[in-house]
Every structure is written in C-alpha cells, then in structure tokens.
Amino acid sequence: MSLLIVLFAALMIPLAMARFNITAVPTAIAEIVVGIIIGKTGLSLIGESDSLSMLSGLGVVILIFLSGMEIDFDLFKAKKGDDKSEPSPVKTAVLSFIMILIFSGLIGWGLFITGLFDNIVIATILFSTIALGVVIAALKEKELLSKPYGQTLLLVAVLGEVVPLLALSIYAALTGGDSKQIWLILIIFVVAIILLMRFRGIYHFFERINKTTTQLDIRLAFFIVFTLVTVAETVGAENILGAFLAGIVMKLLSPSEATQEKLTSIGYGFFIPIFFIMTGANLELRSLLQDPQSLILIPLLFVGFIVAKAGLFFVFRKQFQISNALASIFLSATTITLVLPTLEVAVSLDQITHQQAGAFTLAAVLSCIVSPIIFNKLYRPEPEEVHNTSLHIVGLNVLTIPVAQQLSKGWYDIKMVTDDQQNYQTFHNALEDVTLLDDLSEESLAQQGVFDTEVLVLAYRDHEINYQIAKTALAYNVPRIIVRFESHDLENTRYDKLKAQGVELFNTFDVNISLLREMIDSPSTLKMLNDTESGLYEVTVSNRRYTGIALKHMPMIEEITISRIYRYGEFIAPRGDTIIEYGDHLIFTGNKQTVGALRNKLSVRN
C-alpha cells in the first residue's frame, strides 16, 4: 500500500503542476514537499517498506547515472582555429569552481568556530555541490546552452558534481576505516575504462539489431551501471561514484538520442520520483523544528549555499554583464542532487546528526525554489547581433556564384575564396566578401578564417582539391561540410570514408538526373522548389525546447505545411500528434518571413 501511495503521488504531482501552471518550482522539489506531507512529518501514510527502500536506493543510483550522461565532453575539446584571445569556457569554469571551494571552506570553518556544525570537510563538500539537472533545465529554457555564458555555467555545474563526488568517496574511505585501501578506488576507474573500450566497438553493432523485444542498448546501460556500482561497493567507495562513472562511460559510447530518451524516461518516470518522495517522507520536521539549533541552521545554511557561489561574480563579470554575473551566483546555488546522497553517507558514518541532515535538506530545497526564480529575474540577454548562419565557399565558378546570390541574405553570412586569378577577376564584383588566395594550403585557409564557419562548401571542379581540404576541415571540427564530387570512379572509396564522417557529397550528374526525373514525373514539385515566395524549405531541430512536443503545438504551425520529416535516415509522414525529436529534419512550405523566424527558433543549438 505504501508503494501504491508513492506511485500515485508521483503520477499526480506533474499533473497538478501542469493544471495550476506551476513552472517556477522544479518537479523534484515538489516531490520532496509532497513526501513531507504524506510522510512522517505530515499524514504518516507511508510506512517502512523493504521494497520502497530498495527502489529509493535505485532511484539515487539512476539519478547520478543520468547526471553523468548530461556532461557534454565537446565543451572540453580544444578546436583548431579557436581564437586564443577569447577566454576559454573551461579555464573560466575551473577558476570559478576554485573560488567556490574557497568560499565553501570558509563557510564551513565559520560554522565550526561558532559551534553550529563541527565537520568542516562535509560542510565544504555540501556547499560546493551544484544541481546539474536544475542548471541544465534553466539554461535550456533561456536557450543558453550553445552560448558562451551557458557553456561556462554548465561546466561550473559539472565540476560542482564531479569534484564533490570524488571528495566524498575519498572522505568516506578515510573515515570508514579503510584508509589503507583507499588506492582501491582507482579500480573503479580501471573497470570504467575497460567497459568503455570493450563496448565502444560493438555498440554500433547493437544499432543494427532489432531492439523491439531485446532493447540491447538499455540492457547494456544497466549492465554498466550495476557493474560499476558493485565494484565501487566492493572496494569500499560509495555506489554513487560508480553510478556517475557509469553515466560518463555511457555518454562516451555516443548512444543515440532515442537511447538517451528511453533511459531518461525509465529514470524520471519511475525510480527517481520514488527517491525524492521518500526523501521528504523520511524527514521528521516536528523534532527538527523543535530544536533551536536546527531552527538557526536552516536560514544560515540557505544563505551559505548562496554565499558559497559568490566568487562566481568576480570571475563572470570580466566577460559578461554585471546582472548576469549576479544571476550565475543564484543558478549555481541550486543544489539537491548530490546533497541528499552526501547526507546519507555522512549520517551512516556518524559524522552529522539526523537533525543537521534535515536542516541541510530543507536549505537545499529552499535553494532550488528561490534561486532559479531570482536567476530568471536577473538574467539579461548578452548584447549580440542577430545570428546568421555563416557560409564559406571555396571556389568561384558558374555554379557557386548564382547559389551565393540567391541564398537569403537574412539567413547567411557568405564568404567566398579562390586561388584562381582568372575566376576572381571575372566574379569578384558579384558579392561583397570575395578573397583571392595565393594558394589553398592549410595555413592560407586558416589565416583567412575559412574553417571558422558553420557550413563549408568545397566547390572546385577538381575533386582532389576538395578532398584534401575536406580532410583538413574535419580536423578543424567544421560542423557541416559539403563537397563537390564529380568523379565516377566506382573503385574510389575515399569519399565513402568522408561520408562516414558526416561529410555531405554533391555530384552534379546525380543532381541533374534527379531534376529531370522530377520534371517528368512531378513538375509541380519542381515549380515549388523554384518558387521565390513560397518555396520548399528544410530546418533541423537543434533546440531542445521544442523536442518532445507534438507537431500541432510547434510555433507558427498554422503558417506552414510540413510535408515530410527526415529521421534516422528515413522519411516519415507527419501527423498532428507526431512527436518532434532532436535532430529531425522538417521539410515544409511557407513564405520566407515565416521560414526565417521558424529557423531562428528551431535551429539554435540548445
């Protein structure tokens, strides 16, 4: 019966929040509050249960596992061609977190000398934690994940989970009497590396197997989770360290969006709500509120969570507006994900009392309620121009000049380069930004910023030139590369290798065949493609604000007509209740004004 009550509460909480339009409070906090109401403090509807304890324990493991999967490792990669004069998000985030550790240690020391809390290490760990999930949700809502401010704040939040988690595992090993075997914690990392290397090669093989009844990707995820959790517990570390490393391993295996969606659904649909509800249910607020010291602790700890992040202001204000530097303090002050398991470990080690753990929990709950609201009030968009897609074209000829002229100037910033003196003299007046290069070496192209673009078109007739530049562009991590390929040598597999790396091939012979076939078979379609007012357009969904919703709820849906959705290599027919997925290519008709606004909404990376 207790389990049934918890599951019913987990079902009703998001429904009630949607019904009353409660958006300022994270769902996890609402679940803790409901747990307080139906638990020991409130109605006492939930009794002790082995099944609930087990499911709650699994909930925290899955929560930490999914937190590990949230890390975007691309943010840590240095890219060729990056502007060295621009501050690195990684360096800024590391410096910011060092400030957080210093402030957290000072607060812990202050609580110690006042006699309110006598464990400086636990206090430092708790105050330095950041709720990565809450930070990601807030940044997504503001469409900041693809911008320097959002990337930097996200990296700070990542460090706010990784560093305290490692510190907690080491502290628990030292305090728990296993200090001589602390080196065994390294075994967890060794096993994680072995799992990563073992399954990296065969993971893509899983994609070719029918997963209707096998769901191999999900089985692999849970195998990795429980392997590393078991190893962690065996060597005397905390199971949440194993769970977090499992999330990192799974992320590095590059699972599909569908796999990540299924894992998130399993976690947040069943296990994690039980954990949060039981956290609230197990709190004994009556005794906590009767304790004078606890009553003093709650507001002090709440302020402590904010003050611990105050150092971010001094780092962030050098790059961002003052209001946004202040906003970063409050968003990073949200903390609940790692606080709860840290408190469980501290209580089990007899390092803090149940009353102190309750005070920290309530302060963390308050931080998740108040801090995101203040962040939304303080944040102001950084001054920047309206973003156009940067398009660089290598090669001036009768193919590329008309294309560049016809592309909408409101959507693209076009730059063209060539080393052909004759073509340059013929075409350089056709566009504003046309550059003549001495040669097409990597140094010349990089010096002109050719690889610093979102779309790179390599359009020389000589496909050997295009091939060599394409290989260089891949090393510079150009997001999209289009290569003109006029060879018909079937034994030439080099372009197949480029295609396998995401390069798009353009062959005029194949295109002409397709156009002639369309003119014969579907003349109206070809007219639609050539229509300058209401043509056929495509936009890729990169903004996660609009994923997981039905097409009928998509912005400006009344002003366009979606004909097809290209997903996972296949075309699907859209319906009003078709759910939009990340990476979907929406093919539709509409006027240019609507198309531009829709592209700005859906294609921004978030």
* pLDDT value for 456: 92
pLDDT at 164: 87
Predicted local distance difference test score (pLDDT) of residue 552: 83
Check whether 78 has a pLDDT greater than 60: no
Q: What is the mean pLDDT of residues 518-530?
A: 68
Residue 606: how many other CB atoms lie within 10 Å:
20
- Measured CA to CA in angstroms, residue 250 lies from 75, 130, 421, 485 at distances of 17, 22, 51, 36
Say yes or no to pLDDT of 143 above 80.
no
Mind listing the pLDDT tens digit for each residue in 252-300?
887 777 788 888 888 888 888 898 888 888 877 777 777 777 788 888 9
Q: What is the chain's Cα-based Rg?
A: 28
Residues 6 or more apart in contact with residue 22 via CB below 8 angstroms: 16, 30
pTM summary value = 0.68
Of 105-109, 137-141, 193-197, 599-603, the range with the highest mean pLDDT is: 105-109
Q: pLDDT tier at 60 (50, 70, 90 boundaries)? A: confident
Whether the Cβ atoms of residue 559 and residue 596 lie closer than 8 Å to each other = no
* pLDDT surpasses 90 at 100: yes
What pLDDT does residue 206 have?
Answer: 63
Q: What is the DSSP letter of 267?
A: I
- Tens of pLDDT, residue by residue over 396-431, are 888 888 888 777 566 788 888 888 888 888 877 777
Which pLDDT band holds residue 304 (cuts at 50, 70, 90)? very high
Please, what are the domains in the chain? 2-53+90-378 (1.20.1530.20), 389-514 (3.40.50.720), 532-602 (3.30.70.1450)
Assigned token pair, 44: 């006492």
Most confidently modeled range among 18-22, 363-367, 455-459? 455-459
Q: How confident is the model at residue 385, as a pLDDT?
A: 42
